Structures are given as C-alpha cells and as structure tokens.
C-alpha cells in the first residue's frame, strides 16, 4: 500500500533549537497537509499545499513556524526557535481530489521540547 | 469557522452496536468525514458523506443530515480491535478542499 512517510518518528530537543520535520507524500497526490495533535487541542490544521503552492497557513504561528514544499516529493515543517508548548505529534497527510475524498496520514513525528 | 461536537467517550460490549453522534455548525461545508485513530497511531479514513443519507461500508455506516448539521457513525458487530478514537471532521468549501476541521474525538472502549 502507498503511504505517507514522515521523519523523524521521534524528536527530543532543547528549547530554542531549530526543529525540521520532513514528509514524503504519496506519489500522485497533489495536496499536502500539516496537522498538529495535542491532548488539549486535538487535531489542528497548520498549513496545506496544492501542487506545491501554499494555500493556507493561517493555523500556523508565523513567527516561529515555516512550511515549504521544495519539490513534489518533499514537504518540510520547521520550528525556530522551538518552545516547550510546541510539544505535540505533527502529522503530514496527502490526498488528491481525483483519487477520492479521504486522504492518508503519515505516522507522525512526536516532538518533545524540554 | 466550524464548531464540532461529539461525545468524549462511549463503552460497549463485543458484538454490540454503538452510534457516535456528531453535530456541527459551519460557515462552509463540503462533506462530513469520519476517521479512526488507534492510540499512538495516525488517523485512518473511514467514510465521508457529501449528500444527506446513509452510507454503508461493511460493519461501519455513516449518516448525514445537512439541514440539521448532524451526522453519526454506526459501528456494528463490535470487535475488540474497534477500541479507538473516532474523529468527526467537516470539510471546507470547494475552494478549500481538504481543509478539514476535526472534532475532539470519541474514545470507544469495547469490553469483552
């Protein structure tokens, strides 16, 4: 089965450090999403891209977060500087409207900022 | 924006039926989605409804009433592996396809 690949699976870092999370969407999917999940807030949409162009990043703290798609096979989410409140599971998901409505989540990156 | 409500937790016995309700208020709507998420894993897509009515997929069925802002997910013949969180999500407008807003999830506990 095709799947969305996220790296790293786990990341522990100190406050103030830069964190980069990577995602390889499913080949042929033209829409890529970044979600963050915490116990308190649930799943929150941070940003999403269609055909590599950013469509909406209103859910993302702009002062420290940035999301890019340097090419169709790679999406990145960066946090600089990281803070303890950024501790969460970050999911990437991809989909394509012409391949059905459901889209596929990666296994997530569990980030802990100490 | 959207406001999505679903119960926090439900418990049922193996072999039984459970219905998870979801109500929503939204400024734009393009489908109601259900995802399943086991602890420590990623959400997986279960079903979606765009039009009113019932969609059946094996042991799982999903219903939508757009006029009432209401949906439910019906799980039949419960199995232990169905213990998971079930997330209701509302899709954005056509121009923002894929912009899903998720509810907090309903934790379903299946007991022997």
A106 touches chain B (CB under 8 A): yes
- Subunit contact B100:A45, Cβ cutoff 8 A: yes
Average pLDDT over residues B3-13: 95
The span from the CA of A107 to the CA of B41, in Å, is 6
The answer to whether residue B94 scores a pLDDT higher than 90 is no
Residue B97: band (very low, low, confident or very high) from pLDDT cuts 50, 70, 90: low
- Subunit contact B98:A103, Cβ cutoff 8 A: yes
For the stretch B58-89, pLDDT in tens is 999 999 999 999 999 999 999 999 999 999 99
The answer to whether residue B101 scores a pLDDT higher than 70 is yes
Residue B2: band (very low, low, confident or very high) from pLDDT cuts 50, 70, 90: low
In sequence order, the 6+-apart residues with CB closer than 8 A to the CB of B27 are B1, B2
Helix (H, G, I), strand (E, B) or coil at B68: coil
CA B11 to chain A, closest CA, distance in angstroms equals 20
The answer to whether residue B95 scores a pLDDT higher than 60 is no
The pLDDT value recorded for residue B18 is: 97
The answer to whether residue A33 scores a pLDDT higher than 90 is yes
CA distances from A13 to A18, A56, A65, B40, B63 (A): 8, 28, 16, 20, 44
The pLDDT value recorded for residue B96 is: 59
CA distances from B83 to A37, A109, B15, B40, B78 (A): 19, 23, 12, 13, 9
- Subunit contact A105:B44, Cβ cutoff 8 A: yes
The answer to whether residue A102 scores a pLDDT higher than 80 is no
Question: Which of B34, B42, B60 has the highest number of chain A CBs within 10 A, making it the mutation to test binding with A?
Answer: B42
Instruction: Compare CB distances from A42 to B46, B48, B102 and report the shortest one's residue.
Output: B102
For the stretch A37-49, pLDDT in tens is 999 889 999 999 9
Instruction: Compare CB distances from B48 to A31, A97, A101 and report the shortest one's residue.
Output: A101
Phi, psi of A50 (to 5 degrees): -130, 130
Residue A82: exposed, middle, or buried by beta-carbon count in 10 A (0-12, 13-18, 19+)? buried
The span from the CA of B6 to the CA of A29, in Å, is 30
Chain B partners within 8 Å of A104 (Cβ): 45
Chain B partners within 8 Å of A105 (Cβ): 42-44
The span from the CA of A92 to the CA of A82, in Å, is 19
Chain A partners within 8 Å of B88 (Cβ): none
**Beta strand spans in chain A (E):** 5-7, 10-13, 19-24, 31-38, 42-50, 53-56, 65-71, 74-79, 88-95, 104-105, 109-113
- Subunit contact B98:A56, Cβ cutoff 8 A: no
Helix (H, G, I), strand (E, B) or coil at A97: helix
For the stretch A35-78, pLDDT in tens is 999 998 899 999 999 999 998 888 898 899 999 999 999 999 99
Within 25-54 of A, beta carbons closer than 8 Å to B belong to 31, 33, 42-45, 48, 50
The span from the CA of A32 to the CA of B63, in Å, is 27
Instruction: Compare CB distances from A102 to B45, B103, B104 and report the shortest one's residue.
Output: B45
The pLDDT value recorded for residue A35 is: 95
Residue B81: exposed, middle, or buried by beta-carbon count in 10 A (0-12, 13-18, 19+)? exposed
CB A96 within 8 A of CB A29: yes
Residue A23: exposed, middle, or buried by beta-carbon count in 10 A (0-12, 13-18, 19+)? buried
């Amino acid at each position: 089965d095709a799947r969305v690949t996220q790296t790293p699976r786990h990341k522990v870092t100190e406050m103030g450090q830069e964190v980069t999370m990577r995602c390889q969407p499913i080949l042929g999917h033209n829409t890529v999403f970044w979600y963050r999940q915490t116990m308190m807030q649930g799943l929150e949409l941070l940003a999403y891209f269609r055909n590599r162009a950013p469509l909406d990043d209103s859910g993302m703290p702009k002062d420290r977060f940035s999301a890019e798609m340097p090419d169709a096979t790679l999406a990145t989410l960066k946090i600089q500087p990281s803070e303890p409140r950024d501790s969460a599971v970050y999911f990437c998901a991809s989909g394509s409207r012409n391949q059905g409505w459901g889209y596929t989540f990666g296994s997530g990156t569990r980030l802990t900022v100490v | 924006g959207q406001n999505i409500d679903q119960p926090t937790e439900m418990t049922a016995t193996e072999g039984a039926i459970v219905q998870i309700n979801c109500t929503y208020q939204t400024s734009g709507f393009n489908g109601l989605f259900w995802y399943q998420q086991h602890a420590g894993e990623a959400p997986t897509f279960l079903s979606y409804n765009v039009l009113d009515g019932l969609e059946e997929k094996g042991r799982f069925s999903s219903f939508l009433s757009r006029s009432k802002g209401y949906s439910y997910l019906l799980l039949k013949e419960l199995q232990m592996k169905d213990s998971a969180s079930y997330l209701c999500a509302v899709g954005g407008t056509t121009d923002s396809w894929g912009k899903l807003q998720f509810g907090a999830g309903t934790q379903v506990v299946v007991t022997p």
